[in-house]
Chains A and B, each alone.
Chain A
Amino acid sequence: MTTTTAAAPATTVGAPLLDVRGVTMRFGGLTAVNDVSLTVNQGEIVGLIGPNGAGKTTFFNCLTGLYVPTEGTVSYQGKVLPPKPHLVTQAGVARTFQNIRLFGNMTVLENVLVGRHTRTKEGLFSAILRGPGFHRAEAASRQRALELLEFTGLAAKAEHLARNLPYGEQRKLEIARALASDPGLLLLDEPTAGMNPQETNAAEQLVFAIRDLGIAILVIEHDMKFIFNLCDRTAVLVQGQKIVEGDKETVQNDERVITAYLGAPLETATSTDEQAEDAT
């Protein structure tokens, strides 16, 4: 498991990859996520939408071990995920953040190398003694990181400090860094927040390209057009509860969704930034 990416046949929907059962998250008296179940199958792009404060990011935090759900289980490839973020990553679930969280004082390449942490082995002693294994592992990591920068179109900026990148490229770098852990499932938390239409378009292409690598995707988004273009299935979260799940038509025509979330015809209800739900 050093430099390979599973090259599964593109766009075929396979066995369940992520299986979330009855996840509930309470903070004191507040139930942020209430009995939500969701599956993501191999090769699928699943969307998660909902108004501000619906509990979407909290739900993500439950999946990635940042929060320990009050009730319910999260399994990945049939195994229950331990509520420890680093073990979740090791199992093959990677994520990006709604508010960008890069390591600003490290270079673009170093950020991706940090992302490869779980897929490389190196003890303190082998590093100090600098054996041949150390150099080989380091070179392989570097190679893979550069490939990912190529893939996301950041190769020319490998040596720049992450905090100096323009906004859109910081988002791309977050994706490259998440991909560096060779995930089977990628969780994207509002990948197009604050992007202009061109950038959104490019992000869409990137998400499809990632799916074609055989990586399933669960994406939180506010941009309706983006999510309905992209997703095979979409779930709607309102006040912590999943009220409906299905394809574009099912969701768009659901009475409860229209009243609870859209409130107005689709064309006018486009992205509003979700700052209030900045939970982590």
Chain B
Amino acid sequence: MHELPQQLANGLILGALYGLVAIGYTMVYGIVQLINFAHGEIFMVGGFGALTAFLALPGGTSLWIAIPLMLLAGILVSTLVAVGAERFAYRPLRGAPRLAPLITAIGLSIVLQQLVFSFYPDAKKARVFPKIPGDPFELAGITIQRSDIFLIIAAPLCMMILGWFVAKTRSGRAMQATSQDPDTAKLMGIDTDRIIVMAFAIGAAFAAVAAVAYGLRTGQVDSRMGILLGLKAFTAAVLGGIGNIYGAMLGGLALGLTEGLATGYIQHVPGMDLFGGAAWKDVWAFVLLIVVLLVRPQGLLGERVADRA
């Protein structure tokens, strides 16, 4: 059992990645009750934005300079794509039946995947992304990849900034007000269109941070990386209670831990040896989702829908 701390650490790191992407689902849902299924692709284009910056830099640039620039490029691309999607794909459909924006979102994710090909014709194959060089280091008996340092710093930092922004600033309060009652918020002088754009932009920026972390962690990006990760992040958002930013991160961490522990331990449970290992980790993630939704349909930190009305 000495590997337990290691499995927990792996699970938490993976979970933080899910959580960062889940923020985007949860913020947009909280404000406009729209599930932006193209968010996984917004995550993906962020990765390619960062890759573009990396390729544009002269070879041998120190990663201390390269990573911030890649991050900036990734955030820029993701945010522009998300804001553009909101303006031209979702806004015209506001007030339409809910199915319409949902199908638009699916269409949009196909468009974005194809769009990447026009810049990177071989995007389907893994594109090499830089890694932070150096051997993994040990901390209290846990081995941590150097590339994960970025995520370990970025995830809590992003959450702290977001938490402060939503609770303490004028725009954040306007955001809370809009999510509770958009019509009243308008009458308080809040330009809700702007708030919606802001929610898309913040979600996209977080997705771009996650994409850089993903690239550094796996050493590659490809045009399909948003599909499964987007699905997992959406699961995390639902698990934590969609509409709640802390719930999104908590759901992400819970999901990551479940996957980590399922990978490590399920096969040791008597009679379960067939269902263990990495191949089954996604199954256990969704088993967790089903169990939580049976016991707490509103998610871990979600409110009862009646309260939100």
Contacts and interface: CB of A to CB of B under 8 A. Distances in A.
B171 A114 contact: no
Contact of B165 (A65, A120, A128): A128
A100 to B, nearest CB: 10
Contacts of B34: none
Contact of A122 (B171, B185, B192, B303): B171
A128 B168 CA distance: 11
Given A104-B180, A128-B161, A128-B165, A177 B173 contact: no
Residue among A64, A95, A127 with the highest chain B CB neighbour number at 10 A: A127
A26 interface: no
B184 A106 contact: no
Contact of B188 (A66, A104, A128, A177): A177
A117 B183 contact: no
A178 to B, nearest CB: 8
A66 B187 contact: yes
B59 interface: no
Contacts of A118: 188-189
B177 interface: yes
A114 B173 contact: yes
A181 B173 CA distance: 15
B170 interface: yes
Interface in A101-131: 101, 103-106, 110, 113-115, 117-118, 120, 122, 124, 127-128
B266 interface: no
A90 B173 contact: no
B61 interface: no
A106 B175 CA distance: 12
Contacts of A113: 170, 173
Contacts of B165: 127-128
A177 B184 CA distance: 11
Contacts of B174: 114, 117
A78 B277 CA distance: 73
A134 B172 CA distance: 13
Contacts of A110: 173, 176
A181 B171 contact: no
B169 A85 contact: no
A86 B192 contact: yes
Contacts of B32: none
Contact of B187 (A85, A120, A122, A141): A85
Given A101-B181, A124-B198, A89 B161 contact: no
A86 B170 contact: no
Given A118-B189, A122-B170, A106 B183 contact: no
A138 interface: yes
A110 B170 CA distance: 10
Contact of A86 (B171, B191, B198): B191
Contact of B180 (A89, A105, A115, A138): A105
A125 to B, nearest CB: 11
Contact of A280 (B170, B173, B176, B183): B183
A101 B189 contact: no
Nearest to A280: B183
A90 B189 CA distance: 6
Given A106-B176, A128-B161, A117 B186 contact: no
Residue among B172, B173, B189 with the highest chain A CB neighbour number at 10 A: B189
A97 B184 contact: yes
B189 A89 contact: yes
Nearest to B182: A85
Contacts of B303: 105
B190 interface: yes
Nearest to B308: A105
A86 B173 contact: no
Residue among A101, A103, A128 with the highest chain B CB neighbour number at 10 A: A103
A105 to B, nearest CB: 6
Nearest to B170: A122
A86 B186 contact: yes
30 contacts: A66-B186, A85-B186, A86-B191, A86-B192, A89-B189, A90-B189, A94-B187, A95-B187, A101-B181, A101-B183, A103-B180, A105-B180, A105-B303, A105-B307, A106-B176, A110-B173, A110-B176, A113-B173, A114-B173, A114-B185, A114-B190, A117-B189, A117-B190, A122-B170, A122-B171, A124-B198, A127-B169, A127-B170, A127-B171, A141-B170
Q: Return the 7 tightest CB-CB contacts between A and B, nearest first.
A: A118-B189, A89-B189, A85-B186, A127-B169, A101-B184, A122-B170, A114-B177
